[in-house]
Structure formats: C-alpha cells, structure tokens
Homo-oligomer: A and B are copies of this chain.
C-alpha cells in the first residue's frame, strides 16, 4: 500500500475526481485558498493576527500553507497534533489545552527543543509548576498563556484572582515566560442567529475585558490575547479584544457552520471546500440506495451529512451503520447506477477529518495532490 493510499495513481489524471476509490475525503484547493485569503484579508483590516486551529485539518502541509499565506502559526488541541505539525515544519504552535501527566511532559520537553516559538496554556498552578520543574531540569524555556474560562467551563480559570496569580507566577519564573492569555468559547460558535450569538458572546467578552483590566492593573498586561473561532470571527473583529484569532473550520466549512449566519448577512464569507465522495454499492430498492459511507466515514456528533451532488437535489442521507449510508431519493431524482459517485458535505468537519487518512486535493474535476492527515489519532 502506497503512503498516499489507493488513489495515488490518479494524481494529475484529467477528470480523475469522479474516478476516486471511495469513501474519499475530497478537498477543493481553490475554495480552500479563497477561504484562507478571505479571513487573512479581514484580519489585516481589523489589525489582528491569525493563528488558525490545526485541530480542524490535522495536516502539517496545510498548516505550513496557512503560515506561508500570512498566519503567525497554528493552534493545536493536543500535544500529539503539535508534535506532528512541528515534525512537518510548522512554527508558532500554540497548544490550546493544558498538558498534564508524566509521559506528556517528557514529550513536551522534547518538542520544545525542536519546535520554533512553541507556546502552551495553563489553568492550574500545580500543573504549571510540574511543567516548570521538568523544563528547568533540562534547561528549557517556554512561553505560557493563562487559559481563561469565559463560560464554557471546559478548561481555563474563571477566577480573576487565580488568573492574576498565574500571570504573576509566570512573570517571576526564570524558566517560563508570561505570554498573555487565551480565552476560547466553544458552544457559542454554533449559535445560528447572529444577534443571539452576539448577545451571549458579548457578555463573555465583557467578562474577558474585565479580567484583562485586572491583569493590567496588577502589572501583567497580556501581549497576546488569543481566541475566537469561525462562528465568532466577525464579532471578534468588531470587538477587537483579541490580538489574534484561532478560527479553524473556516477553511473547510461543514453542515453545522453553513447553517450559522457568520457575518450578519445573507451570504457567508466562506464556501464549502471539503466533501466526502462515496459510491453506490447497493440499489435494489426503488426509493433509496446504499452508499459506502457510514459511522466510520462521517462524524456523528452533530447533524447528518448533506448530499451535494447536482443530480440529486432533493436527496437526503440517513445513517445505515458503520460503513454504509442510505440515500433517500427526492421526487424527480433519478436512481444512480452501482458504482456512481455521490458527494456529501461533512456534518462536522473536525471529527470527520479525523476518521480519514488522506485529503484528495482537487482543482476542478482533477485530483492534483494527496495530503496525508498526519496529525490524526489521539496519542
């Protein structure tokens, strides 16, 4: 088996997009580039930097392209992602979750030696001191952001006194450097109505502004204030509280984000670039057929995938087990033959990507390159 999977022989073959062995994750590179340019242009206008989240794509090649286009680095959700992004040449990595545990801290030491401008976050003094001691033992240095919980309650601290204490501790450390703060609000990103999202998020950002003020008053002005996502990017630019944005999904888009009014208007600034291409594997029934994409192909934490194929305008997807999907034919839809392809929009792009091993990068109807998803997996 080649490193780039069974579709490698089709690279560069005109019209090969429709001939891919399936289920294949298909990435429209022209659209990807337009999405990236769109957000970078917006950030240039708002005077903010972009450190896009690599948890979305888990690809060191895409991370490097984002940086080459103007991003200051990438965010990673896990140490594992950061190791893979750094191994692939990405710099300016911010690991956005606290790193805990003997084995991981040893790996952090090693990563810190080889990665350019690595940063981590902390929400706990005990955890921070463990990392500090470990790095001090090997003569390492590392920049740390204090993780602020603005309402999601997943990680971070919502206690201004604790936040100031962490900043103070970092400022006095000889091993660690106080880099500023991070604040990410996850659930808010998917509130579909712009005004409702603006209200909920606005209150969280008011809290964050208060914490930043407390830090400034205590002499710990944060140089970096990192946060925001695809769902809030327009509000983040308007409020201009963050020095850099962490949006990730905007490069791909998915069923969830396509349903969100991202920029308070009828048109979203980003187009769908990512699809799963499946094939008809059974079509004995009259009003539906079966494709080769199920739980192991599409994430199931959110909505269902949406049928994207032009010739199936009213068709819908139902789950049909680990390896299969059911396509319900709409009125007037013709029934495709065995082996015909059906293209679907991913329900939630991040965990869908994690199920696959390769992006099949297309321009128009042709497969032009295959990018390994080198950061997938959880260890």
Which residues 62-105 of A sit at the B interface, judged by CB distance below 8 A? Answer: 77-78, 83, 97-104
**Is the CB of A339 closer than 8 A to any CB of chain B?**
yes
Count contacts on A: residues with CB < 8 A to the other chain: 75
Contact assessment for A281 and B98 in the assembled complex, using a CB-CB cutoff below 8 Å = yes
Q: Tell which of B97, B103, B379 touches A23, judged by Cβ atoms closer than 8 Å.
A: B379
**Is the CB of A156 closer than 8 A to any CB of chain B?**
yes
Contact A154 B21, CB 8 Å, known A103-B7, A355-B354, A357-B379:
no
Which residues 158-183 of A sit at the B interface, judged by CB distance below 8 A? Answer: 158-159, 162
Contact A300 B297, CB 8 Å, known A6-B107, A282-B98:
no
Which residues in B have their C-beta under 8 angstroms from that of A299? 295, 300
Contact assessment for A19 and B102 in the assembled complex, using a CB-CB cutoff below 8 Å = yes
- A129 and B365 alpha carbons, distance in the complex (Å): 29
**Is the CB of A323 closer than 8 A to any CB of chain B?**
yes
Contact assessment for A351 and B100 in the assembled complex, using a CB-CB cutoff below 8 Å = no
Contact assessment for B282 and A77 in the assembled complex, using a CB-CB cutoff below 8 Å = no
Taken residue by residue from 269 to 299, chain A's Cβ proximity to chain B (1 for < 8 Å, 0 otherwise) reads as 0000000000111111100101011011101
Which residues in B have their C-beta under 8 angstroms from that of A1? 83
Contact assessment for B355 and A355 in the assembled complex, using a CB-CB cutoff below 8 Å = yes
Contact assessment for B377 and A357 in the assembled complex, using a CB-CB cutoff below 8 Å = yes
Contact assessment for A102 and B339 in the assembled complex, using a CB-CB cutoff below 8 Å = yes
Q: Tell which of B104, B157, B285, B323 touches A284, judged by Cβ atoms closer than 8 Å.
A: B157
Q: Tell which of B296, B319, B321 touches A378, judged by Cβ atoms closer than 8 Å.
A: B296
Q: Tell which of B7, B24, B283, B378 touches A356, judged by Cβ atoms closer than 8 Å.
A: B378
Which residues in B have their C-beta under 8 angstroms from that of A280? 100
**Is the CB of A237 closer than 8 A to any CB of chain B?**
no
Contact A324 B21, CB 8 Å, known A127-B338, A356-B377, A378-B296:
no
Which residues in B have their C-beta under 8 angstroms from that of A149? 284
**Is the CB of A153 closer than 8 A to any CB of chain B?**
yes
Closest CB in chain B relative to A216 CB, distance in Å: 23
Contact A186 B282, CB 8 Å, known A155-B290, A356-B378:
no
Which residues in B have their C-beta under 8 angstroms from that of A284? 123-124, 149, 156-159, 162
Which residues 1-22 of A sit at the B interface, judged by CB distance below 8 A? Answer: 1, 5-7, 19-22
Closest CB in chain B relative to A367 CB, distance in Å: 12
Q: Tell which of B124, B285, B323 touches A78, judged by Cβ atoms closer than 8 Å.
A: B323
**Is the CB of A207 closer than 8 A to any CB of chain B?**
no
- A19 and B102 alpha carbons, distance in the complex (Å): 8
Which residues in B have their C-beta under 8 angstroms from that of A283? 124
**Is the CB of A238 closer than 8 A to any CB of chain B?**
no
**Is the CB of A301 closer than 8 A to any CB of chain B?**
yes
* Given A127-B338, A296-B378, A355-B355, 14 other A-B residues pairs in contact with their CB atoms under 8 A: A5-B379, A21-B104, A21-B107, A21-B379, A78-B292, A97-B323, A100-B339, A126-B337, A154-B324, A156-B282, A293-B378, A295-B351, A297-B378, A299-B300
Give me 29 A-to-B residue pairs in the complex whose CB atoms sit less than 8 angstroms apart, sorted by A's number: A6-B103, A7-B379, A19-B103, A21-B103, A24-B379, A55-B322, A98-B281, A99-B281, A100-B279, A100-B338, A100-B339, A102-B339, A124-B282, A124-B283, A124-B284, A149-B284, A153-B285, A153-B288, A154-B326, A162-B284, A295-B299, A296-B350, A296-B378, A301-B319, A322-B350, A323-B378, A355-B377, A357-B377, A358-B379
